[in-house]
Amino acid sequence: MIWCIARWGCLSLLVLMPGMGLYLHFSAQAALDNNFQYSRQAAELPNFTGGNGLVQAEARGYTYRVRIAGFEENPGAPPVILLHGFPVTSAMWLPIIDYLVTAGFRVVAPDQRGYSPGARPSALHAYHVTELVADVLALADFLGFDQFHLVGHDWGAMVSWHAALTAPQRLYSLSALTVTHPAAFADALQRDPDQQRRSRYLGLISLPWLPETLMLQNDLARLRALGSPDWPEQTREYSAMFSEPGAATAALNWYRALPDGGRAGLPADLEVRVPTLFIWGSRDEVLGPYSITAQRKYVTGDYTEVEIDAGHRLVQQKPSRVAAALVAHLRGAP
């Protein structure tokens, strides 16, 4: 999903032209919802009481917008927490949630920090990956989970890897989609020309104000394109969330708060010992093979790799294939 931002890089040159810069600015402003309709709707959601649905959940002084499924069908079943990536919400998981419920799991998919209107701090350091991991653990506490399966895609995978490194006792298993172990990915950024080429967007996306301006162009057309025709709720949700003032900056701050290609802040012990599944798409525009090979030395627990004929948005492109791999892994974990 992050690859789409890279396509906008050529427009950065145009911003140097005052006339075009003004055009982009006012075009972006026109796309904003200054009435904060998305936030208003989120604030009206019911509090979590144990049932299914779209609810509010409290953690660390913030209010999170959370999708809950399987609690009524599978009471007491092992919980699975799904972490979305950039630039989407928990709606990205809609194509596979029913698969997981049918397989006998309880499912929790939060809109993470910056994406939930009630969890959108302004300070850059508030988006460091350690804060994002702490949010996940606090949400699990709020929901009453001592342990849980953790699944993440894109940035959600980065958070999941860090959780497995720093709080392995909380995880039944780890499933990472499209983003490799942070040390392996950092190595690839330093050593592999192919990964460096694929990751050129990071230079643009970490700049102040410009990425937000580009994201909002043409009434968020590029964000709208990330939704699936089979799931119109995705398109509505992505555009509504990112059209709010401050939302795009909050989402982009995940990148801006991650120095040194992700190596800074890693624990001394880089081994992942929980049962781990890694899924990637053979046509992924963002991830090259170098870090996939490199991460194998860091995963010392049970480890499975699954390659799918898909791009970076594999949950949307091949939901049944992704769900089958996840269910097999989740059922096999202790």
Q: Is 220:251 a contact under the CB 8 Å cutoff?
A: no
Point out the residues of the chain with pLDDT beneath 70. Answer: 1-31, 219, 259-264
Is 125 tagged catalytic? no
The per-residue pLDDT for 247 is 95
User: Helix or strand or coil: residue 108?
Assistant: strand
Task: Report pLDDT for 67.
Answer: 99
Strand partners, 308: 281
Residue 196 sits in a domain of what CATH number? 3.40.50.1820
In the chain, how many domains are there?
Answer: 1
What confidence tens digit (pLDDT) does each residue in 3-45 have? Answer: 444 444 444 544 454 555 544 554 555 558 789 999 999 999 9
Q: What is the pLDDT of residue 20?
A: 53
Q: What is the pLDDT of residue 263?
A: 62
Task: Spot the catalytic one: 135, 154, 192, 284.
Answer: 154
**What is the reported pLDDT for 14?**
44
CA 212 from centroid of its chain's CA atoms: 18
Which pLDDT score is estimated for 267? 86
Active-site entry in 84, 181, 312, 329: 312
Centroid of chain to Cα 248: 14
Which residues on adjacent β-strands are paired with residue 173?
149
Active site residue 111: no
Q: CA 263, CA 168: separation in Å to the nearest integer?
A: 19
The Cα 33–Cα 220 span in angstroms is 12
Look up the pTM and report it.
Answer: 0.91
Residue 173, domain extent: 3-332
User: Any idea what the Cα angle at residue 64 is, between residues 62 and 67, rounded to 5°?
Assistant: 165
Q: Which helix (H) or strand (E) holds 281?
A: strand 276-281
How many alpha carbons lie under 13 Å from residue 177 in its C-beta half-sphere? 31
Contacts of residue 35, defined as CB under 8 A and 6 or more positions apart, other chains included, come to: none
- Give CA angle at 258 (34, 155), nearest 5°: 70
